Structure 1
Amino acid sequence: MMRGLVLALALLASPAFAVQPGEMLTDPGLEARAREISRNLRCPVCQGEDIDDSNAPISRDLRLAVRERLVAGDTDAQVVDYIVARYGEFVLFQPRAEGANLILWLAGPAMLLAGAAIAFAMTRRRAVAAEAEALSEADKARLAELTQK
């Protein structure tokens, strides 16, 4: 009973990778590169998991494709380009800041600046309104006279 509980806790506490031993490369350097690339590739089916953590058949195909390209001598960037060419930008957890994606990358900072400008304008308008209310009757009359000209 206790042994089963310890085993269950050990399985829950350890990371669960979907990479099968038969998929792993014998060269530890290439395998490390494959794992690093796989961490940044999204499973097209699961969407929230990288391809190393997904048990979906398409993730297995992607893992194998990554390893095949590495064995063929491709650089990490060439491997990612190969996968993106076949599955689209969606498979990248961090889409590239170019083309149509540039709008998405710039929208956040642009909205932040617009919000800051609106907040500044509203604060400034309230300060001017508060100053206008603090005017004496003579100042108000003079202001009304100046604005009518």
Structure 2
Amino acid sequence: MRYLILILAFLASPALAVQPDEILDDPVLEARARELGQELRCVVCQGENIDESNAGIARDLRILVRERLKEGESNQEILDFVVSRYGEYVLMRPTWGGANIILYVAGPVLLLLAMITGFFYLRGRATAQTAAGAALSKEEENRLAEILKE
């Protein structure tokens, strides 16, 4: 029972991979480091930020962030430096500028095009069914009657 409680406590706690030797003595700088760690994506793990990742490169990035904070750089300067080295992929929330606009706009535009296409397709089907269900001509009625008699 004790092991079950320990396992549940471990699963319920946030999975931070920050090692004790990485933590800064200054609580203000450490808070800024944690904030930056939440904004930077691990380039290996893809879905995790660097604070949650156990990958070696995530540890290197955490150490880099903390070293630059000790040097007195601002959060934006640190983010700019990391982006210049790894590209915008490293940001958990990419910017709205440049080619990223295509990524943000493509989804809604494609959804709108699919809805318009579906509307016209269904509308065309409805008119085709109406035309197909029109009354038979006299010749068609006679032919149908002959077929049914046989």
- Give the TM-score of the pair, scaled to structure 1: 0.74
1:87 alignment partner in structure 2: 86
State how many pairs are aligned: 137
1:50 alignment partner in structure 2: 49
2:6 alignment partner in structure 1: 7
2:29 alignment partner in structure 1: 30
1:73 alignment partner in structure 2: 72
Deviation at 1:19, TM superposition (A): 0.5
2:103 alignment partner in structure 1: 104
Q: Which has the larger radius of gyration?
A: 2
- Does 100-109 or 2-11 show the bigger shift? 2-11
1:140 alignment partner in structure 2: none
State the SS of the aligned residue for 1:22: helix
When the two chains are superposed, the root-mean-square deviation of aligned CA atoms in Å is 2.6
For 2:14 and 2:21, locate their aligned partners in 1 and report how far apart those are by CA, in whole Å. Answer: 18
For 1:134 and 1:35, locate their aligned partners in 2 and report how far apart those are by CA, in whole Å. Answer: 68
For 2:47 and 2:10, locate their aligned partners in 1 and report how far apart those are by CA, in whole Å. Answer: 21
Deviation at 1:129, TM superposition (A): 3.8
For 1:132 and 1:78, locate their aligned partners in 2 and report how far apart those are by CA, in whole Å. Answer: 67
CA separation of 1:106 and 1:5: change in aligned 2, threshold 3 A: closer
For 2:67 and 2:114, locate their aligned partners in 1 and report how far apart those are by CA, in whole Å. Answer: 48
For 1:84 and 1:6, locate their aligned partners in 2 and report how far apart those are by CA, in whole Å. Answer: 41
- Does 30-39 or 126-135 show the bigger shift? 126-135
Question: What CA deviation, in whole Å up to 9, does each residue of 1:84-116 have, x standing for no partner?
Answer: 111122212222222222222221111011112
Q: Percent identical across equivalent pairs?
A: 55
Query: Which sections of structure 2, spanning at least 5 residues, go unmatched?
Result: 137-150
Query: Which sections of structure 1, spanning at least 5 residues, go unmatched?
Result: 138-149
State the SS of the aligned residue for 2:20: coil
State the SS of the aligned residue for 2:21: coil
